[in-house]
Amino acid sequence: MSRPPPMAASIRSIDTMQATRTVGFDLDLTLVDSADGIVATYLAMARRLGRTVDAESVRATIGIPLEASCALLVPGQDAEAVRIYRELYPSLGVAGPLLLPGARAALDAVRALGDRVGLVTAKIESAARLLLDHVDLAVDIIAANRYAEEKGRALVELGAWAHVGDHPGDVIGARTAGIFAVGVTTGSHDADALRAAGADVVLASLEELPAWLDSAAPAG
């Protein structure tokens, strides 16, 4: 089994890397149960702005870019909300998250195929790395600050043949790239919502991913 590198490369350095087949993964609520930390950071940010937001409304926006969620939940102060959230996240957002069931084994299964693990996330890179370090999970390359069609463009650059995620935006990214769209129902969206977005397959959790990889991985 191949071993992960000590630190994931950024997608901006992909042109210096040997071409390798890749499986892409979303981060929040796909690999990591990060909802409580996101909500705690969001509520603290809103208090600082003198605003009130509902925790369930925050949870419903997990997976879309921070700028978009702030525009929805704190309109009129969204630019300042983004700044404050990113200031607070390292202390409030990273303390509680845990790996979701099957996450480590799923990445091991990708590497057992000889493929690379790509993280394609709406988070900015610094926040993604903090979260990965907290749960002690290594990926091989990171494409940060990407959502929906932008995820698709990153997946093409990475040479991905599949992308795994909990959000319809992840499915849209995979469809944009013309690759397998694998949904997992570990976030706020059920199987029907993921299939409606175009998922080729929907799994209950990453615990089911190794068997799917064995059946679906391209030869060679």
Asked whether 52 and 26 are in contact (CB, 8 A), the reply is no
CA distances from 52 to 92, 100, 181 (A): 18, 29, 36
9 pLDDT band, cuts 50/70/90, is confident
Is the pLDDT score of 15 beyond 90?
no
pLDDT at 19: 56
Across the range 86-114, mean pLDDT stands at 96
Question: What is the CATH superfamily name and number for domain 35-92?
Answer: Putative phosphatase; domain 2 (1.10.150.240)
In this prediction, residue 1 has a pLDDT band, given cuts at 50, 70 and 90, of: very low
CA distance 27 to 146: 11
CB 40 within 8 A of CB 136: no
Rounded Cα–Cα distance for residues 196 and 146 (Å): 21
Query: Regarding the domain with residue range 9-33+98-216, which homologous superfamily does it belong to in the CATH classification?
Result: HAD superfamily/HAD-like (3.40.50.1000)
Domain(s) labelled CATH 3.40.50.1000 in the chain stretch across 9-33+98-216
Please say whether the beta carbons of 4 and 144 come within 8 A: no
Per-residue pLDDT, 95: 87
Q: Tell me the per-residue pLDDT of 177-189, one tens digit each, with 9 for 90 and over.
A: 999 999 999 999 9
pLDDT tens digits, residue range 54-80? 999 999 999 999 999 999 999 999 999
pLDDT over 90 percentage in the chain = 89
Domain with CATH 1.10.150.240 in the chain: 35-92
